[in-house]
Structure 1
């Protein structure tokens, strides 16, 4: 095989170019600590990174859903606890008013107190998280409860707000985070409120017949309504626990996927620095050798 000066020069320049490309690639990797910058760097790792990034994106969204759901339900649980406390206060006042020892004026005064408590309940029914009403169903930008005199209307709907934690069909029973007006206050979203208004009306009348009604029917309705509120809060608590556990699992998955990404993409910096130094040394040595090779010509033999 005939080796000419041109062949030697070409081979040298080709090797030098490859060395520069390797050095440039290592410098690019050191710049951000990543092995892969394009699929051609390592097709297998590139596919693995794409899969991991997709999984991380989906898992991050479900993790955020879990956080949003817990925030929504914690706000709802707080409101339900306040409702329960007010119902207890109302019962205490009704017991006091119906014990037969109060005159009509005293009973009416208790009625005025309970009227104020009913207003508090309506305000709790209009609790918001951000700009969304928590008891309005999917009409969460509409004020759900409006009181006018002794009439309370519910302007929300009965639809559930779902925040799923996994792919697939959304299930209102499994993925819902809200309580509607009906869930909290019974039929039409106002049944319990109407019962409370009826109690208030009997108190404001204050006759002995009214006091008798309060001691029997009124207190019985209060017990039933309070139990209904507690039952709704208990069901909410079960979903809160489920979302909390799911959120913890999702957080754990995020950690695992992030570690897999790092293992697949992160550069072994000490090794890369060593490789860069070696490449630079090879490059400098090659240049020194080239200085001698490239000077040789026919004139050197004349």
Structure 2
């Protein structure tokens, strides 16, 4: 049976083919404009699931990077303050050693006592240090000043830890408490108590009491060094975590680019080819639909 091909059928088929050619050209134009070969789920249903997963992991990784940056800032600041605490206790240690020399006149001991009093005040100032408006040595109660000049030796800081997460199951405490650095109120080597005691002893010329407090002062210096060593270890671990996050970020971006990014040279080649086909289809179509009613009458 012979099928009669009508003019309407030819026009419909032509229009369908021209639209298909234009659709392919539009797809490649869109890819070229966005630089992505996946612009909607239907472009690659399997690829879009991987792309969404990579984007989610990159977003999580970005938050971990922010956590590391914030934590590094806090740990480095704490280390700086501990360094300053170390400097003043070393100066106090020099003064006490000089004061315990039995050849000093009382006037010299009075001068030593006054400087130790200033060191005490500086220790209180450092104990009340703040970062971004938060007290760094008062545990989780960062909005409350931990020490006062009049009663630092009898004041206890909060023991809570500020914990930050840097990966699934990876957490690190960021702070150290004032009690860890300066001592508990019940500790015989509480820094504030020892400094006040030394000041009083030298003012009174009491060498025996000063000698006893000097031994306790030595144990507190050792504990301060241990705390600073722990803070330094945290800083080193944060550096390792930071490097890992950056490496993971590069890897995820590479995987995401492989899944989503278009090959620009290939896309341009396809687009030029599609344009040629589209122009050819228009040229052929012009010849097909050229006959008019007058042509049929002839």
Unaligned runs of 5+ in 1: none
Unaligned runs of 5+ in 2: none
Distance across 2 between alignment mates of 1:64 and 1:245 = 15
Distance across 1 between alignment mates of 2:182 and 2:124 = 11
State the SS of the aligned residue for 1:175.
strand
Deviations 1:57-102 (A, max 9, x none): 1112112212221211111111111111211110110111121112
State the SS of the aligned residue for 1:145.
coil
Partner of residue 266, structure 1 = 261
Q: Offset of 1:298 from its aligned partner? A: 5.8
Structure 1 residue ranges, 4+ long, deviating more than 3 angstroms after superposition? 150-156
RMSD, matched Cα: 1.9
Q: Offset of 1:144 from its aligned partner? A: 2.3
Contact 1:93 1:110 in 2 (8 A): yes
- Residue among 211, 224, 227 paired with 1:229: 224
Deviations 1:231-251 (A, max 9, x none): 111122222211111111111
Distance 1:95 1:22, change over 3 A: same
State the SS of the aligned residue for 2:148.
strand
State the SS of the aligned residue for 2:140.
coil
Q: Does 1:145 align with 2:147?
A: yes
Q: Does 1:296 align with 2:291?
A: yes
Contact 1:83 1:121 in 2 (8 A): yes
Partner of residue 165, structure 1 = 166
Give 1:193-204 correspondences, 5 Å limit. 193-204=192-203
Contact 2:157 2:179 in 1 (8 A): no
Distance across 1 between alignment mates of 2:16 and 2:156 = 78
Distance across 1 between alignment mates of 2:232 and 2:186 = 21
Range that drifts further, 107-116 or 65-74: 65-74
Distance across 2 between alignment mates of 1:213 and 1:152 = 18
Partner of residue 82, structure 2 = 80
- Residue among 210, 214, 223 paired with 1:214: 210
Q: Offset of 1:289 from its aligned partner? A: 0.8
Q: Offset of 1:291 from its aligned partner? A: 0.8
**TM-score under structure 2 normalisation?**
0.92
Distance across 1 between alignment mates of 2:136 and 2:243 = 24
Give 1:66-215 correspondences, 5 Å limit. 66-148=68-150, 151-152=152-153, 154=155, 156-168=157-169, 175-188=172-185, 191-206=190-205, 210-215=206-211
**TM-score under structure 1 normalisation?**
0.91
Give 1:9-24 correspondences, 5 Å limit. 9-24=11-26
Deviations 1:112-162 (A, max 9, x none): 0011111111122222222222212112232222212x6556474211111
Distance across 2 between alignment mates of 1:195 and 1:146 = 16
Distance 1:60 1:153, change over 3 A: farther
Range that drifts further, 180-189 or 40-49: 180-189
Q: Offset of 1:182 from its aligned partner? A: 1.5
Q: Offset of 1:299 from its aligned partner? A: 4.2
State the SS of the aligned residue for 2:149.
strand
Range that drifts further, 121-130 or 247-256: 121-130
Number of aligned residue pairs: give it.
293
Contact 2:28 2:271 in 1 (8 A): yes
State the SS of the aligned residue for 1:179.
coil
Distance across 2 between alignment mates of 1:165 and 1:52 = 18
